[in-house]
């Protein structure tokens, strides 16, 4: 029987993100992906899925790290990829659009979470925009 170990706050702190060479630079990720494109066997659709997948990993890792470091969970918070990012069609110079959907959270908690999520992304060179909505606000906008 295998067991999964839960990461502690110290093991999953925001600082560990920067220790991971994978996230040192979005430019480095883009360069690596461009090198892959030059392979004649490489299919362009693979690039879009690969880059979008890397962005998913990065965003979730940052969100989880900051939630754990603050001693909170992301319960009541959902990150939704929208636009080209949400469709899985990210190209090298695509921006990243995220909607934060929340329930039973204070405005202060949401603002703190947004700051903790966005600043590292901006520092890495990600062109990210976001909106923050409740489910009721989404319903209103949809009508």
pLDDT by residue (tens digit) across 76-108?
A: 788 999 999 999 888 878 899 999 998 888 888
pLDDT at residue 3 in the model:
36
Q: Are 112 and 96 in contact (CB under 8 A)?
A: no
Confidence of residue 51 (pLDDT cuts 50, 70, 90): confident
Is the model more confident about 44 or about 71? 44
Rg, the chain, Cα only: 17
Res. 5: pLDDT tops 50: no
pLDDT the model gives residue 86: 94
Please report the pLDDT score of residue 24 as a whole number. Answer: 61
Cα–Cα distance, 77 to 106 (Å, whole number): 11
With residue 70 as reference, give the H or E element that holds it: none
| Single pTM value for the model | 0.71
Average pLDDT value for the chain: 77
Residue 33 has pLDDT above 60, yes or no: yes
User: What average pLDDT does this structure show over 52-69?
Assistant: 82
Cα–Cα distance between 46 and 34 in angstroms, integer? 12
Residue 101 in 3-state DSSP? strand
- Residue 12's contacts (CB-CB under 8 Å, 6 or more residues apart) are 64, 65, 68, 69
Element (H, E) at 135: helix 135-142
């Amino acid at each position: 029987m295998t067991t999964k170990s839960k990461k502690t706050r110290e093991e999953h702190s925001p600082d560990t993100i920067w220790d991971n060479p994978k996230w040192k630079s979005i430019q480095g990720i883009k360069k690596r992906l461009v090198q892959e494109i030059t392979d004649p066997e490489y299919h362009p659709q693979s690039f879009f899925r690969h880059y979008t997948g890397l962005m998913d990993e990065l965003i979730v890792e940052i969100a989880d790290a900051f939630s754990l470091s603050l001693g909170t969970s992301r319960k009541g918070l959902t990150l939704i990829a929208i636009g080209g990012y949400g469709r899985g069609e990210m190209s090298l110079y695509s921006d990243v659009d995220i909607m934060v959907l929340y329930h039973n959270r204070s405005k202060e908690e949401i603002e703190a979470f947004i700051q903790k999520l966005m600043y590292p992304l901006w520092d890495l060179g990600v062109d990210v925009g976001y909106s923050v909505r409740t489910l009721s606000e989404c319903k209103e906008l949809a009508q």
